[in-house]
Structure 1
Amino acid sequence: MHTLTQGAAAELYQALVRDGARRGGCPLDEASESYLVFVLLRHQRDGMLLARTQALEWLHAQECFGRARADALRDVGDRCLLIAGLYPALAERRRVSLDYFVDLGRGAYRDVAAASRDAYGELFAQLAAGYRELVRVLHAIRGDVDAVRPAH
C-alpha cells in the first residue's frame, strides 16, 4: 500500500496520523499508516457512525458471503476503530468498556484476514495485531494518549 499524499484531506489526515503516532509512542509502518488515513477519509462524512450498534452490524456481516462478508466485517472493524479512538465516551454512554469496541473491531479484522487471500489477508492480520496501537494513535490525535494502554 502506498502512502496517501494527494488531496488536502489526505495530506491533513496523514500529518495528523504521523503526529499521533509520534505523540502516542506507536510508530506505524507504511501499510498501517496508509490504512488509518484511508479509514479517516472513508468515514469522514459518516453521519451514522455513532448511531449504529456495532454488534448488530457484526451479526449482519456473519449472514453475508464472500466479498460482501469481508467488506461488512471490514466496516465493523473500521467503525469500532474510530469509535474507540476518537469517541471513547460513547462506550461509557452505552455502558460498555472501551475494550468492547477494541475487541469487536480487532475480531472483525481477524475475520477479514481469515476470509481473504494474499496481501489483503496479510494486511488485515497485521491491522488486527496492531489494533490497540491504531486506537492509541487516534487517542493521541485527540490529545488523550493515556486513554488506551499500550499493547503487551
Structure 2
Amino acid sequence: MQKIPVNLAAPGMKLAKPVTRENGMVVLAEGLELTEGIINKLQSMNVERIVVQGNPVDMGDAGNSSWAQKSERLDYLFRRYSRDKWMFRVKGFFREYFNLKAAAQKAEEEAERLAQEQAAAEAAEAEAAENGGEA
C-alpha cells in the first residue's frame, strides 16, 4: 500500500483505500482499478493523494532531489526529540510531505525528458521526410 499524488497515478493501479469527500462520503471504492478517465475525474475534484495497492511509484528515495535530501535530513533535525511522541509524529508528517514532493519532482523531470525525446524524434522524422521528398 502506497500513498501517492494523483498526478503520479497511472491506469491499471488499484485503490487500496476508498477515496472519500470531506464529509466522509465514499467517491471511489477500495479495489477499484484506475483508468485515465477516473484519474482525470480525481484531478478535476482536486483530490491530491490516493492510496494504491503495492508500491508502484518510486517516491524519490534515491537522494537525487532537494526534496529527498530534506527528507533524509529530518533525523538530524529532530535528534533532540527522540523520546517525544508528538515530535515523532511531526517528523513523520514532514517525511511524508517531502517524499511526496520528491516523487512529484522526479515525475515532472521524467515527463520533461520524455517530451524532449519525443520532440527530437519528431524533428528527425520531419527532416527525414523533407530530405526524402526532395530526392
Give the TM-score taking structure 1 as reference length.
0.29
**Bigger Rg over Cα:** 2
Give the TM-score taking structure 2 as reference length.
0.32
